[in-house]
Structure 1
Amino acid sequence: MGLEFKYPLFFLLLIPAGLVLFLFFKQTKGFMHKEKIWITCIRAVVFSFIILSLVTPQLVFKTNERNVVFLVDSSASMMGTENEILTWIEKSVQSKKEKDQFAILSLGKNVAVEQSLHANSDVIQEFSTNINRYDTNIEQGIQLASSMFPSNSNGRVVLFSDGNQTAGNILDAARLLKQRGIVLDFIPISRQVGQDMAVTEFSVPSSLYEGETVRLTMKVESNYTTNAKVRITLNDEEIIEENIQIKEGTNLLTFTHEAMETGFYVYKGEISAVGDAFAENNFLQAISNVKGTPRILVVQSEPNEGVSKALQTSGLIVDQITPQQLPSSLSSYLRYQSILFNNVAATDIGEKKMKLINQAVKDFGTGFVMAGGENSFGLGGYFKTPIEELLPVEMEVKGKQELPSLGLIIVLDRSGSMEGEKLSLAKEAAARSVELLREKDTLGFFAFDDRPWEIIEAAPISNKEKAIEKIRSVPAGGGTEIYSALEAAFNRLIPLELQRKHIILLTDGQSATNNDYHALIDKGKETNITLSTVALGQDADKRLLEDLAGYGAGRFYDVVDDTVIPSILSRETAVLTRTYIVDDPFYPTIHPNFDWDPLFKDGVPEMNAYIAVTPKATSHMILSSDKEDPILAEWQFGLGRTIAYTSDLSGKWAGNWAKWGEWPHFINQLMSRTLPTYNSEPYTIHVENRNGQTVIQLQSSNSEQGPIETAVISQSGEQIDASMKITAPGKYELAMDHNPGMYFLRINQFSEEGEEKLYKTGFAVPYSDELLLKGNNFALLEEAANITGGKQLTKEKMAFDSLPFYPVKKQPISSWLIMIAFLFFFLEIAIRRFGLPPISLLVRKYVKPIKKVSKEIEVPKINKSTRQKPLSTKTNPISDIQQKQELNNKKKLNRATEDEDTSEQNPQESMKRLLEAKKRMNR
C-alpha cells in the first residue's frame, strides 16, 4: 500500500496558513497564555488537514485484476472485418485469469456498448448495436472506454482500427488515458475495400444568367480501370448520360449545358459501374442561381388560360400545374419568385407541401398569392394550416351571429390498424373542427372498433377545451364495425331540431357486417341529415364509402397523404354553413395605398361575391366589402410578401371586374407586388469538412462589415442549427453538424442606414471522408499508443499481459481528513467560548486516570521513643488509607469555607472574576 497526492501544489498553502497563525499568536489579546497556545495548535491542525484534503491524497493498493476494454472501429471503411476481430477477441479472452474483466465497444461517428465489463468468458457472436458508420471518431470511443473502468483504477484499451479518423483527435484522447494510468494498445486492421470509385469533386458556377452555357466539372478517383456510366440531372430531370472509360487514379470529366430557365438549379453528378464497393460515394450535388426573367408558379385545379396569358403579357415566365403535381422538395419552390394558388383546396395538397411553401416564403422571400373560389380559404380547408399562417387573413369568420344552427357528429375508426400517426392526425382533425364551431352549435363524437363508443354526447358545445381533450385521449382499439357506429350517430341527430345536420365518417377498414345502409340514410334524410366519408389508406372499403357519401348528399375523400386529414374536416365544417360565401353584388371600398392607387384612380367595377375571412392585426387592407370584410389584403411574412384576394379570377364571382380594362394589369399587379428583390453575389461561399463538422465560409465580395443574419434550411424544410462567428472583417463561418445532403442558405445583410439586403444560395454537404479511397494510417495508432506506454499487440494473449506499471486501485481519503478538521474546529470553538478550565474539568470527568493502589499506601513512621519497643500488633494499611482520605476531605471542606468567607469579605475580587468570565464567553 502506498500514498500519492493528486494535486501536490496545494501544499504551498501551508506558507500563508503558517503566517496567519503566527500573526494570531502575536497580536491577539484577551486569552490566557495557555489558552492561546491551545487555540493556535488546534488551528494549525485544522489548516493542515484542510490543505491536505485539497492535495487529494489517495491510498494506492496493488491488485492482480486486469481490466481490458476492446474498442472496435466499425465504420464503413472497416466493413468485412467483423468476424476477424471477434475471432481475435475470443482467443484473447481464453488467456485471461478468473478475476480479469473485459468489455467490448464499437465506434463510428458515435460509440455504443456491445458488451459491458464482466469477468466471465462469454463473447458476443456479432456486433448488433446501431451506430452511424459514415464517420470515425476514435477520440469519442476512447473517452467512453475510459469511463468503463471502475473508479480510481487503471487497465488497458485495445483498439482495432485502420487508423483513419474523420472526427475527433486520437492523440488528445491518449493524453487523457495517460493521466489515468490506462494503456492504449492497438491491433492494425487493413481495410477491405476491393474495387471502388468515388466522385470527389463536382463544380458548377454559383451564379448564372438565363441562356448562359454552364461548364460542369466532375473529378473521379478510382482504384481500378473499368467502363462506367455518368449521369447528370437538373432538378431531378436527366440532362446528360454518357458511357465513360474510367482509368485507375484521377479522372477529370467536363460537360456543358445551357441554362434555359431562371431560378435555383440543383445539379447532381453521379457515376455507376459494375463491381463498385460503395454506392454512397458515387455522387455529389451542386447548386447555381440562374438570373433572368422572373418565373411564376400557377397552381389551379381547372385550366384558366386567362391568368397565364395576363402574366405572360407582362413578361413573366409562367408554369402551370395541378395541386397534385406540387413538388416535395424545397429547391423546387425556390426556382420560382412567386406562387399563385387559384381556387385550390387544401385537401388536394397536404401539410408537408404547405410547410415547404411556408418555408420558401418566410426564409427565402418567395412571394405568395391566394385567389378565392369555392375551394379556397376557409371553404378549402386551410384553417390552422401553414398556408393560413403566411396569409394576411384568418380563415375563421369572427362574429357568426347570422349562421344557421348546426349539428355535427364525427364518427372515427379507432381500430388497431389506425394506431400511430393516422389516428393522431384524425384526432387533430376532429379537434380543429371543434374550434371552428360556435358554442351554440351541437357536437357529437363517436369512436368505434367492433362496437361504437360515445365519447361526446351530441349537445351544444359548452366547453371546447374539454371536448378537444376528450377527443385527443381516444386510444386505438380492436376490430372494425361501421354500421352500428353510423346508426348510433343517426339516432342521436334525428330527434334534434337543427337547421343543418351533418355526419363525417372516417375509417381505414372493411365493415364487419352487411346491413342496409341506404335505409339508415333514408331515415336521416327525413330530418335533413347529410353524410360525408373519408377513406384512410388502401385497405378501406372505398366502394362502400363512396356510395354512402353519394347517397347521403355529402362528399367522399380518398386519402393517400394522411396529412390532409385535418384539412378535410375543417373544410367539411366550413362547407356546412355556406355563409362563408357572400354573394350580394357590391362596389369594393378602396383604402389609400401608394402602390395600388394608380390602378384604382378611376374607381373599380361592381363585384358579385367573395369568401368571408378575418384580416390579421398587422395586415394592410387594400379593398374591402360593404360589410368591411377584406377583398384584397397584403402583408410581409418573414422575408416574403403575401396577398389574399377573396374573390375569384375566373369572372364568376368577380363580375364586371373580368370585363374591366385594368383587369390584366390587376392580375399582373397581384404577382409583381410579391416578387422578391435579391442582390447580386454579395458573398462567396466555400464548404469544407472540419473535424466532423460542416463549416460554411462566407466572404463579402465588397468587404462590407455590416451585421448579418443567416438561416440554413434542409431540402425537407427543416431549419438547421448553425452557429456563426466572425473570423475577420467581412468574413464569417457557420458550423453545423448534419448529414450529407442539399441545404439552402439565406443571408440578410443590414447597412448602417438600416437598409436590408437579401441573398440566397445553396450548398451540398458531401459524403463523409470515411468513403474516400485512403490507405491505412497505422503510424497514427502507434503514436497514440506510445503516449500511454502501449504498443502493437501481435498475439491474442498479450491483451491480458502485465501492464507497464502495476494494476492498482485507489482510495481517496479527502473526506476523512475534512471530517477530522471539523472535529478539531469544533474543539477550538469550545475553548474560545468556555475557556480551557471547563474543558479540562469535562475531560477529567469522563476520562479518569488509572491510579495504582501501591502509590496511595504510606508506611507509618516509627517514633524514636518507641523504636526499641517490640511491636505487639500488626499495622493495618487499609485503615491508614481511610484515615488519610477523611483527613483530606476535612481539608477540602475547610478550604471551601475559607473561599466563601474570602468572597464575602472581598466582593471586588469576586466581581473581577465574573467580568473575566463574561469576556471569555463573548469571544
Structure 2
Amino acid sequence: MPTIGFTQPEWLLALPVLAAALIYGARGSYAGLRGWRLIGAWIVRGAIVLLLVLALAGAQIVRPAEEMTVVFALDDSYSVAPTERERALGLVRDALGKREPGRRAALVVFGGEAMVEAEALAQPGEVAVSAQVDGGHTDLGAALRLALGLIAPDTAGRVVLLTDGNENTGAVSEQLLTAEAARVVVDVLPLQTRSRHDALVADLRVPGEARREEPFQVHVDLHASEPTDAELTVLVDDEPVEARSVSLSEGTRTLSLPLSLSEPGFHRVDVVLEGVDDECRENDLGTGFVRVRGEPRVLVVDAAPEEAAALERALQLQEIEVRVGGPAALPISAADLEAWDAIFLSDFPSYRMSYRQQEMLRDATRDRGIGLGMIGGEFGFGAGGYYRSPVEEALPVSMDVSKHRSFPPAAVLIVMDTSGSMGMEEDGYQKIELAAEAGCAIVDLLQHYDSVGFLASDPAPTEIAPLRKLENREGIKSDIRSVRAGGGGISVYPSLQAAYGVLRQYGSPVRHIILLADGSDCDEQPGSVEIARQMASEKISITAVAFGDGPHTPFLQDVAAAGNGQYYLTERARDLKGIFTREALKITKSVLVEETFRARPADASEVTSGLDWASAPPLMGYVATTRKDLARTPLVSHKDDPLLAHWQFGLGRSVAFTSDAKAHWAADWLGWGEFTRFWGQTVRWVLRRPGSELLHPRVERGTEGSLLVAEAWDEDGSPINGLEVTATLSLPGGGSEELSLPQAGPGRYEAPIEARQAGAYVAAVVAQGPGGFEAERTMGFAVPYPPDYADVAANTDLLQRVAAQTGGRVIELPEQVWAPPRTFPHTRTDIRRWLLWAAALLLPLDVAIRRLMVRREDLAPAWEALRSVATRLRPQRVEEPETVGALLQSRRSARRERVESYRPPIPAVPPARTEQAPIAEPPPEPPRPDPVKVEAAAAEEDEAADTTSRLLKRKRELRGGG
C-alpha cells in the first residue's frame, strides 16, 4: 500500500510554529469575516501552509516494488573450463523457461572488462555469447558494477555471478557495498577451472644489477600438473646462452641458473620451457631484466647511417661506446631504451618514426634521465617536421621561428583525398581527423600574412576552407576540422585543375599545393602531370604525399617531379603533421639557412670550454630555431640563432646542434683539430647520470598483487628514513603512471602496482630527503603472460563471502534465481512540484475569500442559470393542447386593454394655423393609477405567458431533435 515519505522530515517541525503564526496573524486580517467566509479563509490559508511545509520536507509517495530484475554475469576468461561455461549458459536458459510475469532478465559477459551481452532476455533461445572481452584477466568488480547499472530502479534486484572467482584485477569488495546499499542480492554459481595437462614458468627472478663478467643467479619456478620432462632454454637479448633438460614432478620446482654478462647496459633475460605437450603455450615463458655496470652507451640514428661515419669515429676516439644505425635501430619499447645512456637523432625526419616512439624518447629523458640529442641537416628540427612534436618538448629549442623574422607571403592549398579509407581508425582516431590536424598545424605555423586553403576530393573537389589570409586562424581550423570521410577515391586531374584555378589568381610570391592521395586509388590521372608542369612554369609547386604503398605511387611521384615538389610515402596518418609542417617551412624558406658563417661563442658552458674557437672553420648552413627560455646557448650563428643549445629536462638532459656533423654543412669541420673534443664533451654532458648506490628498487609479487619496493641504505648499511619517494612507471603499451611510495618500515618504501598488460615495465624511482639528499635508480620487470593463463583453482571461498555479504546464496537450481528477496525495495515518486502547484492555485482563492463581498442575492442569477442549464439538459416530454395557443393570445390582448385603460386620453391635435395664437395653459392631467399595482398585474400575466412560452419552445426543440 502506498505511503508518504520525506527526504527532509525536519521541516515538519515547523508546522506548530507556522500554525501559531497563522493564528496570531489572522486576528487582523480575519476581523471582518463572519460565517462561512471565516471558515473558508481558515481552511484555505491552513492548506497553503501545509502544502508548502510538505514540499519543503521533500514529500514522496512510497510504493513497494512489484517486479524483479535478474542480471546474469558470465565469466568468459581463459581460466574457466569451456564445459563449465556451457553449464552456466544452460542454467540461464532453464531459468528463463521458468520465469513468471513481472520478472526481467539481462546478461553481462566479463573477463578483464565487462560488456552487456543482452539488456533484456526474452526467450531461452536468445542466450548466447558474442561479446569479445579480455580473457587474460578476471575483474569481478567491473562485472558487478555493470550488472548493478542494468537493474531498473523500480524493481527488486538480483545479480547471479557465474564465475570461478579468480579475481586478479579490480576489487569486488568495493562494489558489494554498493549492492548492499541498493538492497541487491548477489547469488553465485561457482564454475570449475580448466582441467589442464600443463607445465609452465610460474616465476623468474633476476637481480636488478650485476657487475661486468661477474656471475649472478637467475631463479626459475617451474610448475607442472603431472610429471613430465622438458627442455629449458635461457636467452639474453634474444640470443640463447644456455639450454638444459629438466624433469618435473607434479607441483612446483625451483631452479637456480648462473649467468655472467660482459656487455654493459640493460639486458633482457628470458627462459623458455619447450618439449612439453600441454594445453597452453602462452605460459611457457618468463622474462626479467638486469643492468650490467660499465661504460655508457650512445645510439646515433641517421636516415643515411653511412654519412654519420665521421661522428662515429670522433666518439670512438673519445672512448665513448657508440652505435650508428638507421630507422630500424630506434628502440620500440621503454625496456629497449634502457640499453642506452643517450640517443642522438642526426639529420633524421620525424615521419621516419612512430608517434609512440617520439613519446617514448621524450618520456625516457624526462622520467628516466636518458640523454637526448638532435643534430641538424635538411631533415633536422623544423625541416624534419618536429614542429609541436613530443621530441620538440624535450629539446632546448623551439621549431617556431615566426616571431623573430619575416618571410615572403605564401599561399598553401591542401588537396586531400577524403574517400572511405580515410574513415578507418588509427590510434583511436579516424585518419581523416589526423590529416585535418596536420592541416591545422600549418595554420598555426605560418605567418598572419600567409594564406591557407583546403580542398576535399571525394571524388569531385569540394572547397572546405576557402584560401584566405590567416587573420582568423580559429575560423580556418574550424573549417578544416569539419571535413568528413566519404566514399569514392580522389579524382586527381579535376582536383589539381580546381587548385590551379584558385592559386593562379593569387598574388603571393610563394604558391604551393600539398596533394594527399591514396597510393592505391587515384582516379582520373590523364592530364595531371601536364597540368603540374604548367603550374610549375607559373611558379606554383606541388608536393605529393602517397598514403600507402600501392600501384599508383609512381604516378604521384611523377606529379611531384613535374610540379618541382617533394614526394613522400607514408603508412601512418600520424606522420602527416610532420610532413605538412616540413613542407610549409621549406617552401617559405624560413628554416634552412644555407650561408657561410663562423660559430660565435655566447653563454659560458662546460660543453664548449677549453676549445680553440678562433681556429674553428666556417659552417655552410644550419636550421633556424628559437631558444627556449630556460635553455643555454653556448654557440650562436651570425644571425644570433642558436647553433648549440642545451638544458635540463626533468631527470635528463638534452642538447641541440642546428648544423650537421657530416660532409655537407660541416664539411670543413670534419678536419678541424677540435672536432673530436667538441663532440666528446657534448655527448658526455648529455649522458644519463649513474644510478645512486643508496637506492635499491625491486618488484615483489604475492597473492595479493605486486608491490614496487624501494629500500634506501647509507654506506654503512643503515636504513635511511624520512624520504619522499616517487616513481614513474612506463607501461608496455606506451604512457606512464606516477606513483608515490610511502614509508612502510625502516628504510623501506612501497606502493601497490597493477601490472595488467603483458610486456615489459620500467620504473624510475627518485628519493629526496633533508639536507639536499637525492637519489635516482631505474629498474625493469616484465609480465610475460596474463594471470588467467597461470595454473589456478576456483576461488570458492571468495564467492561464498560475496554471497553472504549481500544475503545471497550458492545457486543450485534454475528456479532459485526467481526466489523473492528478503526485502523488496520501494519506489519513490517526488510530489513536491504538485504540492507547490496546489499551493499556488489556492492563493487566489485565499485572497478572494478575504477581499470580495458576495451576498446570497448576488448568487441568485448564477443559481438560476445553473437551474436553466440543468432543465434543458434533462429530457422531458410536454403535451400541448390545441387551445393553448388561443388562450395565450387572449390573455395577452386582455393585458394590453387593461394597461391602456389606465392611460389618460390624448388630446386631439388642432389643425395648423397661419398666425401665431397666444399660448394657452395646458389642461390639468387626470390622476394616474398606482404603477405598482399595474406592474404587479402585468407581472402575473407575464409569468403565465413566459411559462407557456418555455413549454412550447421545449416541445419544438424535442420535435426538432427527433
TM-score, normalised via structure 2 length: 0.73
Distance 1:570 1:151 in 2: 54
Report deviation, 1:486: 1.6
Amino acid at match of 2:101: E
How far the C-alpha of 1:297 sits from its partner, in A, is: 0.5
Mapping of 1:11-410 within 5 angstroms? 68-80=70-82, 81-116=84-119, 121-122=123-124, 124-138=126-140, 141-142=143-144, 145=147, 151=153, 154=156, 157-166=159-168, 185-236=187-238, 239-240=241-242, 244-272=246-274, 275-300=277-302, 301-303=304-306, 304-398=308-402, 403-404=407-408, 406-410=410-414
Gaps of 5+ in 1: 33-41, 831-838, 846-923
Q: Shift of residue 150 of structure 1?
A: 5.6
**Other-structure match for 2:933:** none
In structure 2, the CA distance between the partners of 1:440 and 1:284, relative to structure 1 (3 Å rule), is same
Query: Hey, what does 1:506 align to over in structure 2?
Result: 516
Say whether 1:762 aligns with 2:787: no
Question: 1:556 deviation in Å?
Answer: 1.7
Report deviation, 1:112. 4.0
Distance 1:84 1:621 in 2: 72
Equivalenced residue count is: 812
Please name the residue that 1:743 is paired with. Answer: 761
Equivalence for 1:426: 435
Q: 1:705 aligns with which of 705, 722, 736?
A: 722
Greater alpha carbon shift after TM alignment, 385-394 vs 590-599: 590-599
User: Structure 1 residues 709 and 609, CA, compared in 2 at 3 Å: closer, same or farther?
Assistant: farther
Distance in 1 between the 2:6 and 2:409 partners?
Answer: 81
**Rounded Cα–Cα distance in structure 2 between residues aligned with 1:592 and 1:620:** 6
Counterpart CA distance in 2 for 1:450 and 1:58 is 62
Matched residue SS, 1:673: helix
Query: Amino acid of the residue matched to residue 750 of structure 1?
Result: Q
Work out which of the residue numbers 451, 455, 478 in structure 2 matches 1:469: 478
- Following superposition, the deviation at residue 597 of structure 1 comes to 5.6
Q: Which moved more, 1:637-646 or 1:723-732?
A: 723-732
Following superposition, the deviation at residue 663 of structure 1 comes to 1.7
Relative to 1, partners in 2 of residues 1:5 and 1:278: Cα closer, same or farther, differing over 3 Å? farther
1:718-867 paired onto structure 2 within 5 Å: 718-722=735-739, 724-728=741-745, 730-740=747-757, 741-754=759-772, 756-765=774-783, 767-782=785-800, 784-785=802-803, 791-800=809-818, 808=824, 810=826
- Quote the offset at 1:331 in angstroms: 1.9
Cα pair 1:536 1:560 within 8 Å, conserved: yes
SS of alignment partner, residue 521 of structure 1:
helix
| Alpha-carbon distance, 1:362 to partner | 1.4
SS at match of 1:753: helix
The alignment's C-alpha RMSD in Å is 4.6
- For 1:61 and 1:500, the matched residues in 2 are separated by 77
Which amino acid is 1:323 matched to?
P
* Equivalent residue number for residue 487 of structure 1: 497
Please give the per-residue CA displacement for 1:130-151, whole angstroms capped at 9, x wherever unaligned.
4443333445545655665565
Give the Å deviation of 1:536.
0.7
State the alpha-carbon separation in 2 of the partners of residues 298 and 772 from structure 1: 41
**Alignment-derived partner of residue 871 in structure 1:** none
Q: Answer yes or no: is the 8 Å Cα contact 1:456–1:467 preserved in 2.
A: yes
Distance in 2 (CA, whole Å) between partners of 1:281 and 1:752 is 46
Q: CA deviation at 1:819?
A: 8.8
> Are residues 1:664 and 2:667 paired?
no
Counterpart secondary structure, 2:127: coil
**Pair 116,690 (structure 1): closer, same or farther in 2 beyond 3 Å:** farther
1:717 positional shift = 3.6
| 2:386–2:399 CA contact under 8 A, matched in 1 | yes
Query: Which of 576, 583, 605 pairs up with 2:587?
Result: 576
Paired residues of 1:163 and 1:780 also in contact (CA < 8 A) = yes
* Counterpart-to-counterpart distance in 1, 2:201 and 2:570: 41
Q: Which moved more, 1:420-429 or 1:621-630?
A: 420-429
- Distance apart, 1:707 and its partner CA: 2.2
> Do the aligned partners of residues 432 and 789 (structure 1) sit closer, same or farther apart at CA in structure 2, a change above 3 Å counting?
closer
Per-residue deviation, 1:714: 1.5
Alignment identity in percent? 26
Following superposition, the deviation at residue 336 of structure 1 comes to: 1.0
Is residue 447 of structure 1 aligned with residue 456 of structure 2? yes
Q: Is the 8 A contact 2:160 2:188 kept in 1?
A: yes
Separation (CA, whole Å) in 2 of partners of 1:176 and 1:370: 54
CA distance change for structure 1 residues 5 and 212 in 2, over 3 Å: closer, same or farther? Answer: farther
- Residues of 2 paired with 1:309 and 1:444: CA distance? 48
Q: CA deviation at 1:792?
A: 4.2
- Conserved 8 A contact 1:174-1:787: yes
**2:573 aligned with 1:544:** no
Q: What SS does the aligned partner of 2:483 have?
A: coil
Amino acid paired to 1:296: V
Contact 1:61 1:810 in 2 (8 A): yes
State the one-letter code of the partner of 2:517.
T
Amino acid paired to 1:488: A
Q: Check 1:737–1:601 CA distance in 2 against 1; reply closer, same or farther (3 A cut).
A: same
Contact 2:596–2:621 (CA under 8 A) maintained in structure 1: no
What's the counterpart of residue 902 of structure 1? none
**Letter aligned with residue 282 of structure 1:** D
SS in 1 for 2:555: helix
Secondary structure of 1:720's counterpart equals strand
2:532 aligned residue: 521
Change (3 A) 1:692 1:563: farther
Q: CA deviation at 1:219?
A: 1.2
Kept in 1, the 8 Å contact 2:370–2:653? The answer is yes
Q: Structure 1 pair 324/444, CA: closer, same or farther in 2 (3 Å)?
A: farther
Deviations 1:659-701 (A, max 9, x none): 3322211110110110121333433334356798653232323
Q: Is the 8 A contact 1:352 1:563 kept in 2?
A: no
Q: Which amino acid aligns with 1:373?
A: G
Q: Is the 8 A contact 2:60 2:831 kept in 1?
A: no
Q: Could you tell me whether the CA contact under 8 Å between 1:398 and 1:614 is conserved in 2? A: no
Between the aligned partners of 1:217 and 1:443, the Cα distance in structure 2 is: 63
**2:731 aligned with 1:714, yes or no?**
yes
Given the superposition, is the C-alpha separation of residues 238 and 501 from structure 1 closer, same or farther in structure 2, using an over 3 Å criterion?
Answer: farther
| 1:249-275 CA distance string (max 9 Å, x none) | 223344444323322223333435565
Question: Does structure 1 retain, via aligned residues, the 8 Å contact 2:542–2:560?
Answer: yes
For the 8 Å contact 2:349–2:379, the answer to whether it is kept is yes
Q: Give CA deviations for 1:203-234 in whole Å, capped at 9, x if unaligned.
A: 11101223333432221212134454544444
Query: What is the alpha-carbon distance in structure 2 between the residues aligned to residue 309 and residue 605 of structure 1?
Result: 19
Which has the larger displacement, 162-171 or 618-627? 162-171
Q: Structure 1 pair 222/470, CA: closer, same or farther in 2 (3 Å)?
A: same
5+ residue gaps, structure 2, are 28-45, 425-429, 715-719, 856-962
Q: Over alpha carbons, which structure has the higher Rg?
A: 2
The separation in 2 between residues aligned to 1:577 and 1:802, in whole angstroms, is: 77
Greater displacement, 641-650 / 134-143? 134-143
Cα separation, 2, equivalents of 1:473 and 1:222: 59
* Structure 1 residue 236: Cα displacement: 4.8
- Separation of aligned partners in 1, 2:619 and 2:26: 105
Letter in 1 for 2:448: E
Deviations 1:757-778 (A, max 9, x none): 3222223346554333233344
1:479 Cα deviation from its structure 2 partner: 2.8
